[in-house]
């Protein structure tokens, strides 16, 4: 019985080798192809992720720049409103805003009783924000 069982196992092994070898010949190289395709897909996903991260970082920097420009422009408008009524205003940029410049223009409206104050904020030679407000001669 042990001999018969051994022959049966050997016969199954022979059948597996015969038919299994044929199947292996048909699938030869598919594992390498699957690895190459999966690496290509992983690379594409990685590139998309990194470009998305770069775009979000750029948007965050632009939002920070615009927010800083708005705070600066509002503080300049407030300081101009506290100054005496004049045809031009000189303002200084606080040290908290390196690289920012401000241009203040005053336009007379309604005779000379009202002024339109426009503040243009630039950062690194790029116009970021223009803020307008009015000042009355009191």
Question: Tokens at residue 15, please?
Answer: 């059948």
pTM given for the model: 0.65
Contacts of 64 (CB under 8 A, 6+ apart): none
- Are 122 and 100 a contacting pair, CB within 8 Å? yes
User: Can you give the pLDDT of all 138 residues of the chain as single tens digits?
Assistant: 455 555 555 555 555 555 555 555 566 667 888 999 999 999 999 999 999 999 999 999 999 999 999 999 999 999 999 998 888 899 999 999 999 999 999 999 877 789 999 999 999 999 999 999 999 877
Residue 24: per-residue pLDDT: 53
Query: Using CB atoms within 10 A of its CB, is residue 66 exposed (0-12), middle (13-18) or buried (19+)?
Result: middle
For every residue of 83-108, DSSP letters joined together read: SPP-S-------TTSTTEEEEEEEEE
- Spans of all domains in the chain: 2-136
């Amino acid at each position: 019985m042990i001999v018969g069982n051994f022959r049966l196992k050997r016969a199954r092994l022979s059948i597996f080798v015969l038919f299994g070898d044929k199947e292996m010949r048909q699938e030869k190289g598919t594992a390498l192809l699957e690895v190459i395709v999966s690496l290509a897909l992983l690379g594409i996903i990685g590139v998309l992720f990194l470009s998305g991260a770069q775009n979000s970082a750029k948007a965050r920097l632009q939002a920070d720049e615009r927010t800083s420009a708005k705070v600066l422009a509002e503080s300049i408008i407030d300081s101009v409103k506290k100054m005496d009524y004049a045809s031009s205003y000189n303002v200084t940029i606080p040290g908290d805003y390196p690289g920012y410049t401000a241009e203040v223009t005053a336009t007379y409206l309604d005779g000379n009783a009202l002024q339109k104050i426009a503040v243009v904020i630039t950062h690194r030679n790029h116009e970021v924000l223009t803020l307008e407000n009015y000042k009355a001669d009191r």
